[in-house]
Amino acid sequence: MNRDLRKTVRVVGFAALLLGTPLGVSAEMYADLYTGAVFTNNTDLTVTSTLGTTETIQDLKVNNSWTAGGRAGYWVDSLDWLGFGLDLFFFHAKAPSQSATSTITGSGTTLTSTTSVDWSLPVLGIGFDVLRLRAPLLRSEQFPHGRLQPYFAAGPAIFITWAGQVRVQPQGQHDTNAAVGAKAEGGVTFMLTEKVGLFTEYRFTHFTSKLSYQNNTSGPATETFKASFDSHHIIGGLSFSFP
């Protein structure tokens, strides 16, 4: 088992233990459905070859995208400002066709040139909200946990990416990577009824993807494509409460 896989398994086990162990005798369950827009910062793509060369493609533009997902969890009844959750979401990190500055190092030399890049990277995220906090405002008999609920959540997330690569030979290759990253979010929920509400939220995600392909262009080699992605999500949706 490689180091990345062991790290992923440890995160899943720890988060599952927290999420499966309520801190109170009873809990208020919730489920959310949402969609929205994603804005990803420019990034650098590093291509490392087993032939001993490293290419850094600098300041790649990443297209704006959409996201959709759902989450579920619970708020602890005795501490109704504290909760936990599990989040499943999808978005796309696509570097459109573009020319970018490329720096190649190897064998004691450095070469800077311009290269063409076109890379499409679907992303499936599994977030573990090991800390979820809310402020139950406007409490009443109908809304015992507050009608207005500003909230914050944070925790680790597993980001699964997969992509083909046209810069290698033979073409038609695909690879999949699962990496541990981070997710943090803040928003506000307004309950329309005791069980149904609307929410809007800002979310930040960070992860690093590493995908490997065989490349026989200059001799048998394995090339690893590595890039980190910082994304800003603006989402909204429906929240369902099950007291």
Per DSSP, 137 falls in state: B
pTM of the model: 0.87
pLDDT of the residue at 133: 98
> What percent of the chain is modeled with pLDDT above 90?
70
Name the fold adopted by 3-20+28-242: Porin (2.40.160)
Q: Where are the domains of the chain?
A: 3-20+28-242
Q: pLDDT tens digits for 145-201? A: 999 999 999 999 999 999 988 788 888 899 999 999 999 999 999 999 999 999 999
* Model confidence at 20: pLDDT above 70: no
Q: pLDDT tens digits for 80-138? A: 999 999 999 999 999 888 998 999 998 777 778 788 888 889 999 999 999 999 999 99
* Model confidence at 212: pLDDT above 60: yes
What sign results for the dihedral spanned by CA atoms 72, 138, 238, 179? Answer: negative
Among candidates 185, 178, 179, 180, which has minimal Cα distance to 233?
Answer: 185
Tokens of 146: 């507050």
Tokens of 23: 């801190």
- Locus of tokens 């076109």: 118
Model confidence at 10, in pLDDT bands (50, 70, 90)?
A: low
User: Which of these ranges, 32-41, 66-75, 161-170, has the smallest mean pLDDT?
Assistant: 161-170
94-99 LR contacts (CB < 8 Å, sep 24+)? 94/62, 94/63, 94/65, 94/119, 94/120, 94/121, 95/43, 95/45, 95/60, 95/61, 95/62, 95/63, 95/119, 95/120, 95/121, 96/61, 96/63, 98/60, 98/61
* d(C-alpha 72, C-alpha 70), whole Å: 7
pLDDT of the residue at 23: 46
Model confidence at 22, in pLDDT bands (50, 70, 90)?
A: low
Strand partners, 54: 48, 105
Q: Which residue has the higher pLDDT, 5 or 238?
A: 238
pLDDT of the residue at 3: 54
Let me know: does 103 contact 112? Beta carbons within 8 Å.
yes
* Model confidence at 203: pLDDT above 70: yes
